[in-house]
Amino acid sequence: MGSPKRIRKKYDKSKLVWDTARINEVHSLMRKYGLKNARELLIAENELDRIRKNAREVLSGRASEEMAKSLIQRLARYNIVKPDASIEDLLTINVEALLARRLQSLIVEKGLAKSMRQARQLVTHGFIAINSVKVSSPGYMVQASEENAISYYKPINLDAGAAGATVGGGVPASGVEAADAEDVENSEE
């Protein structure tokens, strides 16, 4: 486990720091999956590298077949690969397969949120539960058995911030509505 005094990072930084193609790919994945920062992507990439490394060790004969079975079972539990997948199939997994299993992504897929940002906010503010247990980490890796148990922890109206909604003591929520309210007041005089 390591020393509790020495907290180690869960990721390694890329060697190509200023590579334009890599930066554009990182930004597109961050937008697509609603990641807060590139660190979340680096953690997923590091996990993928670890999976591929273990698969290569099994293929080369340095690791046992039991390790291969346990690796495939673990990934099948998260619905990343099929339970009857071969060890070669583990080498074809990409980082998007891991990012798609995050709680934040599955909330949007199930329709509990309208966007990735809203899904992240719902999770961090405590509105999402799995098996009636509140989960507050948007990066939580959801197992296949838990996928149908994702629900709201407490009731919420997602349309409360829509047009016509007011904030505080009847103050319009947006500038457009404020201008409309002024027009109505001017026409009454």
Residue 24: burial class (beta carbons within 10 Å; 0-12, 13-18, 19+): exposed
The answer to whether 157 and 127 are in contact (CB under 8 A) is: no
Average pLDDT over residues 30-53: 96
What one-character DSSP code corresponds to residue 5? T
141 has which bridge partners? 102
pLDDT range class, residue 6, cuts 50, 70, 90:
confident
Closest CA relative to residue 140, chosen from 109, 103, 100: 103
Which residue type does 42 have? L
Return the sign of the alpha-carbon dihedral for residues 105, 46, 49, 62: negative
pLDDT exceeds 90 at position 175: no
**Over the stretch 117-159, which tens digit does the pLDDT of each residue have?**
999 999 999 999 999 999 999 999 999 999 999 999 999 998 8
**Over the stretch 121-130, which tens digit does the pLDDT of each residue have?**
999 999 999 9
Would you state the structure tokens that stand for residue 97, as one six-digit string? 């397969």
- DSSP string computed for 11-23: ----S-TT-HHHH
Average pLDDT over residues 91-115: 96
What percent of the chain clears pLDDT 70, i.e. is strictly above it? Answer: 84
Half-sphere exposure for 25 (CA within 13 Å, toward CB): 13
The answer to whether 99 and 33 are in contact (CB under 8 A) is: yes
Would you state the structure tokens that stand for residue 143, as one six-digit string? 């197992």
Per CATH, the homologous superfamily of domain 102-156 is RNA-binding S4 domain (3.10.290.10)
pLDDT range class, residue 181, cuts 50, 70, 90:
very low
Q: Domain spans of the chain?
A: 7-100, 102-156
pLDDT exceeds 50 at position 180: no
Q: Which residues contact 64 (CB under 8 A, 6 or more apart)?
A: 58
The answer to whether 123 and 136 are in contact (CB under 8 A) is: yes
